[in-house]
Amino acid sequence: MKIVVLDGYVANPGDLSWEGLASQGELVLYDRTAADQIVVRAADADAIFVNKVVITADIIAQLPRLKFIGELATGYNNIDIAAAHAAGITVCNVPGYSGDSVAQLVFAFILAHSNKVNEYNASVWRGDWCRCPDFSYLLGPITELAGTTIGIYGLGNIGGKIAAIAHAFGMHVISSTSKPAEAIAPYVERVAFEDMLARADYISINAPLSASNRGLFGAETICKMKPTAMLINTARGPIVDSAALAEALRQGVIAAAAVDVLDVEPPTADNPLLAHDIADRLIITPHIAWESVAARQRLLAISASNLAAFIAGTPVNRVLP
């Protein structure tokens, strides 16, 4: 079996091993693959693995030997699943591998904002503490999380972990989930989406991207949030309207935001969220929530297991149209 990894660098920049895949056939690794290189590089592959490389119906039609596509991620919107299914190609993703890491970043954002970590650190390095007549000083209010409300949009594996951490902090957890009450933790209150917007001090977006939620957090939605609220997106960039969020921060419609994902990655320099006049209200990280060593180790291990199960005729984590 020939196995081709088309864009493996981000998942494994060299600090981990590809042995799990290499042990199952001839493995060819590419750090990155441009759109016009896909067909040539995958032409004689039985199995390919992709992270962000887009596999369209046209590409699938040009790869008659291909039998397996492994998504090196949980989200699979870069693969035409229907076309793959029609061609008899099995597609498998890696669910649940990064839940702890993503939840951790969500609270890194929340704590940095509530405790003004960046502002105080910068102040100390400017010499403000050295010049202070007192042992301590305030740059603004520090918020205690206990008693505040977090709204979770997308109460799956990651959303559930965020809910558990929030509960441990003494936060009230609400979600617009469609799951029945018996399927969610007893400390999560199910509410209507509009109620979540109105009540939450923090809103965490953790849903997969779909046609129904693309641009969902736009001007009309954001304006229904509290003016003191913080919006957090560690899911998919297009769920948030970047221009609308930038303007909401500029006008003080909400107090702050933190995003690990953008609608185009890497972003262009003119992305509305890269405007310097909103930098003091916005935290941006470069899609790193999933990038912990532990999460990436799980990603590679589960990807190898997915291929092994397919070879054995018992595919797991299969994605269907």
Helix, strand, coil shares of the chain, percent, nearest 5, are: 35, 15, 45
**Residues 167, 190, 214, 287: which is the catalytic one?**
287
Task: Judge whether 19 counts as a catalytic residue.
Answer: no
Partners of residue 217 on adjacent β-strands: 240
287 is catalytic: yes
Q: What are phi and psi of 103, to 5 degrees?
A: -60, -35
Residues 6+ apart with CB under 8 A from 21: 3, 5, 27, 49, 300, 303, 304, 307
Catalytic residue among 32, 220, 265, 318: 265
Query: Residue 144 catalytic?
Result: no
Residue 65: Cβ-neighbour burial (10 angstroms; 0-12, 13-18, 19+): exposed
Query: Angle at the Cα of 103 (from 252 to 268), degrees rounded to 5?
Result: 55
Name which of 313, 317, 321 is nearest 67 in CA terms: 313
Is there a contact between 201 and 230 (Cβ–Cβ < 8 Å)?
yes
Residue 116's SS3 state is: coil
User: Which run of H or E residues covers position 152?
Assistant: strand 149-153
Instruction: For residue 301, count CB atoms less than 10 angstroms from its CB and return exposed for 0-12, middle for 13-18, buried for 19 or more.
Output: middle
- Rounded Cα distance between 54 and 36, Å, is 11
* Catalytic residue (one of 236, 281, 296, 298): 236
Give the residue among 189, 183, 182 at the shortest CA–CA distance from 166.
Answer: 189
For residue 136, the one-letter residue type is: S
Give every strand in the sheet of 2-5, ordered side by side: 26-29, 2-5, 47-50, 68-71, 90-92
Helix (H, G, I), strand (E, B) or coil at 285: coil
The catalytic residues are 236, 265, 287
